[in-house]
Amino acid sequence: MDIILEGIRQAFILLVTFDSEVLGITWFSLKVSGTATLISLLIGMSIGTVVALTQFPGRRFVVSLINTGMALPPVVVGLFVTIFLWRNGPLGFLEILYTPTAMILAQAVIATPIVMGISLASMQQLPKKLRLQILALGATRLQMVRILIREARLPLLAAVMAGFGGVISEVGASIMVGGNIKGYTRVLTTATVMETSRGNFDIAIALGIILLFFAYLINLVLTTVQQRERPR
Amino acid sequence: MKRKKFILCLLLALAMTVSMASTAAAQPAQKNIIMATTTSTQDSGLLDFLLPIFEKKTGYFVKTIAVGSGQAMTMGAKGEADVLLVHSPAAEKKFMADGNGVERRLVMHNDFIIVGPPNDPAKIKGMKRAAEGFKNFAGTASLFVSRGDNSGTHAKEKEIWTAAGIDPVGQKWYQETGLGMGQTLGMAAEKKTYTLADRGTYLALKKNMGLDILVEGDGILLNIYHVIEVNPKKWPKVNFTGAKAFGDFMISKETQDIIKTFGVDKYGSALFFPDAGKKEEALGK
């Protein structure tokens, strides 16, 4: 128990003294996971919307694939991305293994199915008649999609939070494709793993608390936006 | 109005994340050195201390990938690392024989120790031979926690089991963690039982555990680190110049002097003994 209190104390000290290494790692974690989430939003939402609004043969199969993707283990994603990015692998010419870019790539792969799955579900739960009504009022297909997205924005924000939460908290892929290199690809989760194996449990706990703190701040902003818009 | 707010929220997400362009810009490839090494060199903090000196001196950027010695050598054999700092002599010799490395140079050593609970149910304390201790684990069916991860430590442990003439795999008293040294030590501490550890990691973690050193000093327990440059003839993409510079740095007098005193202030004794230029066979004599 002492060690947890010590961890909380450490977290507090690291934050109020603006410990440059910890702040650097924290900012870097937010940047990597934020960028990855953004990429996953672009891909996940557009594909999720298309699948939700169209009918085609094998659609049920595609939806089940997307939903399975939500359970993709980060470490498996990390393994595949690593193998592809190896110098002598198919994408080796990019020379991005053990760089922040590789981490963003891997995290985007993890977040995309999550965003896609939730987008799909939230677009699908809109009443079918709404679509007919919008079209009947003379909207083009594109206008209809825009209105539907607006209608589904509450669950879509949940997709953002779930995607971001999924990648800011993952460690398996980040440590494999980033390498936990000091001052370069070290993020809060990989630093926590390292400090744990070094036996610095108090610092590991402190890093965990800092991670939760910033995740909370971001979700607070998103939740505020989401709940303010609650339909009456 | 509502849509505006939604867009605002998306923008906020954007602002939060900023562009990665600046950080993601890759440095010239030849400036990067990928060093595959063992977790023990990273967990002891030695590399955190040495690398900034090397980087400042040479302008190279070292990407340390801390994995088990087995994985480090696999990376080298695939040309996915430029230089290795490893401690698994038998596997290293095979690595060299297969033409994967250019040169294998002795850097430093410390030693392995058998640690266990102070009450020592298997009665191994003070034994001269590690293999005798291992025989007692089998004889008394005392739980032994193994790394089980093809690391240098795991390789050494298997060597001792062979010396003891025992095959522990599958026995009830033998558990493989598949984890790093620190976590495996932690597990042994929780279960109040035995494991094989490198002295450096044990010293670094000692404060959190109730484990004592029970067997030490046997010749078989030496833990020897070599630096190996990966063969550029086999893998043209390897940064051999950088690897060579790193190897030279590790055996330079300046570095060896640092290794000699590293850890003394914090743990009361050095974590590694510098050995550059010595013969491997001459160690521990």
Q: Domain spans of chain A?
A: 2-227
Residue-level pLDDT at B270: 87
Partners of B65 in the β-ladder = B36
Q: How many CA atoms lie within 13 A of A127 on its CB side?
A: 5
Distance from CA of A205 to the nearest CA of B (A): 15
Confidence of residue B17 (pLDDT cuts 50, 70, 90): very low
Same domain, B273 and B242: yes
Confidence of residue A25 (pLDDT cuts 50, 70, 90): very high
Task: With beta carbons under 8 A apart, name residues in chain B contacting A171.
Answer: none
Fold of A2-227: MetI-like fold (1.10.3720)
The pair of three-digit structure tokens given for residue A63, joined into one six-digit string: 């939806």
User: φ, ψ for residue B168 (rounded to 5)?
Assistant: -80, -15
CB A229 within 8 A of CB B5: yes
Confidence of residue B78 (pLDDT cuts 50, 70, 90): very high
| Least confident piece of the model among A41-50, B233-242, B269-278 | B269-278
Stronger pLDDT, B263 or B162, i.e. the higher one: B162
CB distance A199–B64 less than 8 Å? no
Same domain, B268 and B191: no
Identify the contact set of chain A against chain B, taking CB-CB distances under 8 A: 28, 30-32, 34-35, 37-38, 41, 86-88, 92, 95-101, 104, 150, 153, 157, 160, 179-182, 184, 194, 196-199, 201, 218, 221-222, 225, 228-229
- pLDDT at residue B143 greater than cutoff 70: yes
Residue-level pLDDT at B285: 58
The pair of three-digit structure tokens given for residue A127, joined into one six-digit string: 């009443």
Task: With beta carbons under 8 A apart, name residues in chain A contacting B17.
Answer: 30-31, 34-35, 37-38
Same domain, B146 and B191: yes
Residue B244, domain member (yes or no): yes
- pLDDT at residue B161 greater than cutoff 80: yes
- pLDDT at residue B269 greater than cutoff 90: no
Residue B12, domain member (yes or no): no
> Tell me, what CATH number does B86's domain have?
3.40.190.10
Residue-level pLDDT at B18: 41
**B203/A contact by beta carbon, under 8 A:** no
- pLDDT at residue B40 greater than cutoff 90: no
The span from the CA of B66 to the CA of B40, in Å, is 8
Same domain, B43 and B73: yes
Same domain, B84 and B184: no
The pair of three-digit structure tokens given for residue A85, joined into one six-digit string: 């990015």
Gap between the terminal Cα atoms of chain B:
82
Same domain, B167 and B121: yes
Final residue of a domain: which of B200, B221, B242? B221
The span from the CA of B215 to the CA of B133, in Å, is 8
Phi-psi region for residue B170, left (φ > 0), alpha (ψ -120 to 50) or beta?
A: left
- Mean of the per-residue pLDDT values for chain A? 92
Distance from CA of A64 to the nearest CA of B (A): 28
Stronger pLDDT, B5 or A227, i.e. the higher one: A227
Residue-level pLDDT at B22: 38
| Least confident piece of the model among A28-42, A218-232, B73-87 | A218-232
Residue-level pLDDT at B3: 55
Same domain, B128 and B64: no
Same domain, B119 and B66: no
| Least confident piece of the model among B56-70, B96-110, B203-217 | B203-217
Task: Identify which of A101, A179, A229 has the shortest CB distance to residue B2.
Answer: A229
What is the count of structural domains for chain B? Answer: 2
Q: Is A24 helix (H, G, I), strand (E, B) or coil?
A: helix
Encode pLDDT of B108-129 as tens digits.
999 999 999 999 999 999 999 9
Residue B3, domain member (yes or no): no
Residue-level pLDDT at B6: 56
**B232/A contact by beta carbon, under 8 A:** no
Same domain, B119 and B47: no
Domain range for B198 is: 111-221
| Least confident piece of the model among A68-82, A198-212, B69-83, B149-163 | A198-212
Same domain, B37 and B135: no
Mutate to test the interface with B, among A145, A197, A225 (most CBs of B within 10 A): A197
Mutate to test the interface with A, among B5, B17, B183 (most CBs of A within 10 A): B17
DSSP A32: H
The percent of residues in chain A predicted with pLDDT above 90, rounded, is 67
The span from the CA of B150 to the CA of A222, in Å, is 45
- pLDDT at residue B107 greater than cutoff 50: yes
User: φ, ψ for residue B211 (rounded to 5)?
Assistant: -110, 140
Residue-level pLDDT at B7: 54
The percent of residues in chain B predicted with pLDDT above 70, rounded, is 89
Encode pLDDT of A163-205 as tens digits.
999 999 999 999 999 999 998 999 999 999 988 888 788 889 9
The pair of three-digit structure tokens given for residue A2, joined into one six-digit string: 């002492």
Same domain, B117 and B79: no
The pair of three-digit structure tokens given for residue A207, joined into one six-digit string: 């890093």
Same domain, B139 and B213: yes
Confidence of residue B26 (pLDDT cuts 50, 70, 90): very low
The ipTM of this complex is 0.80
Cβ within 8 Å of A, B 33-72: 34, 39, 42-43, 45, 48, 51, 61, 63-66
Q: Could you tell me which of B63, B14, B16, B70 has the C-alpha nearest to residue A102? A: B63
- pLDDT at residue A232 greater than cutoff 80: no
- pLDDT at residue B75 greater than cutoff 80: yes
- pLDDT at residue B271 greater than cutoff 70: yes
- Mean of the per-residue pLDDT values for chain B? 88
